[in-house]
Chain A
Amino acid sequence: MIMLAKIGLGIVGTLAVAGAYTFRDGVMRVDVDEHHAGGDHVHLWFPAAAVPMVMSAVPDRELAKMSRQAREYMPLARAVAHELGQLPDTTFVEVQDRNEHVRISTHYGAIQIDVTDPDEDVHVLCPLATIEDITQQIAEVRPDEGDNR
């Protein structure tokens, strides 16, 4: 009985630590709900820690292409993400009219974009640290990398 309890404790402990490690960088969340018959409902939640791993699986050629297209904006995006991470939770932009509501805010170290209108609701949550990592990875890729492969 004690042995079973020890095994159970080991499994629970391992799962807890693995879960904590996996979600240490927070969660990326994408929710899309279309308000019409047959409309899509997408609810995607995944650990932000997985993003750098996914990025490393992207072919060099594609990364180089991304780098060429977005290179000039990467330092800006990185600087913004870094600085936003230093600030308290804030709503930076909010637009509200009779039908539509758009909000860009930070929430516990993540940027949150919420769009609500009669046609659809879109909610995106992305940890700022993940944006920093991604922009750094893209900025570090040489634009001509992968062209010769």
Chain B
Amino acid sequence: MSRNPGKAFRNTSLIAGVVAAATLLLAPFAGYAQSASGGDRWLHVRVVSTDADGETVSVNVPLELAEKVLPAINKKELHDGKVTIDHFDGDGVDFRAVLEAVRNAKDGEFVTVTGKNQEDVRVAKKDGFLLVHVTDNSGHMGHRHHAAEKDADGKGDKDADKHADAKDAKKDTVSHVEVKIPMSVVDAMLGSGKNELDIVAGLHMLAKQGDTELVSVKDEDNTVRIWVDSKNAPAPEGGTR
């Protein structure tokens, strides 16, 4: 027993009051602390620009969030997490038919296109991935062509064109685009109706994959990377981890 029951009671009341107030105050965070567990898969987009502004864009989206939120968007071709490609203008290309053909084919390189402007497109299937590799050298060619036109018209200032050519030469660049999508994701996206791509099913399947770099774009001014991993923040620089 305490020697001073009144004091002990007052102390107990004070502590009880403080604990009650603290519990009420912190209650909103309790749920947060419980739910902040790992195991989620995250889609990351990172754009790094090396131009004068040096812009860096970083987007981190949990796949689960995208899976749950997409069905809530019903706008134009997107509905219930699916994209209707009925009237999709693909410049005469039936993307679904192309994907179906790739899905049913064996591993290998299917399409290799080398264009007049040195753009090189390769589509392949390897180790369960759909690979698309585009190398584009056309940027510099376009500038030169434009300068040549001006000369032919006789309207162009030759000095200015020389200056422009020198500037273009500095800008001469090759852009590389690499896309790597697991075939299981392609399968899941094609799993719904004939004229639909099931984006949510694709995301769901993507979440089951290991760490994967999906898209990489590199040119003189910009680097774009899209990848999936289990971290909720992008790697400081470079790789997926």
| Residues in chain A within 8 A of chain B (CB atoms) | 2, 5-6, 9, 12-13, 16-17, 19-21, 23-26, 72, 75-76, 79-80, 83-99, 108-109, 127, 129
Contact = CB atoms under 8 A, between A and B. Distances in A.
Given A5-B10, A98-B52, A91 B32 contact: no
A88 B232 contact: yes
B56 A79 contact: no
A2 B55 contact: no
A88 B6 CA distance: 46
Interface stretch (B67-75, B120-128, B137-145, B158-166): B67-75
A75 B74 CA distance: 10
Contacts of A9: 10, 13-14, 17
Interface string B54-86: 111111111011001100111100000000000
B97 interface: no
B181 to A, nearest CB: 23
8 contacts: A13-B17, A17-B20, A19-B21, A24-B27, A83-B62, A90-B62, A93-B58, A108-B32
Interface residues of B, number: 43
Given A92-B59, A96-B55, A97-B55, 17 more contacts: A9-B14, A13-B13, A13-B21, A16-B21, A17-B20, A21-B24, A87-B40, A87-B62, A87-B65, A87-B232, A88-B38, A90-B62, A90-B233, A93-B59, A94-B58, A95-B55, A96-B56
The 3 closest A-B pairs by CB, nearest first: A20-B24, A88-B36, A16-B21
A9 to B, nearest CB: 6
A122 to B, nearest CB: 19
B57 A95 contact: yes
Contact of B32 (A5, A6, A98, A109): A109
Nearest to A127: B28
Nearest to A103: B58
Contacts of A89: 36
Contacts of B38: 88
B72 A108 contact: no
B2 interface: no
A90 B64 contact: no
Residue among A19, A24, A90, A108 facing the most chain B CB atoms (10 A cut-off): A90
B29 to A, nearest CB: 6
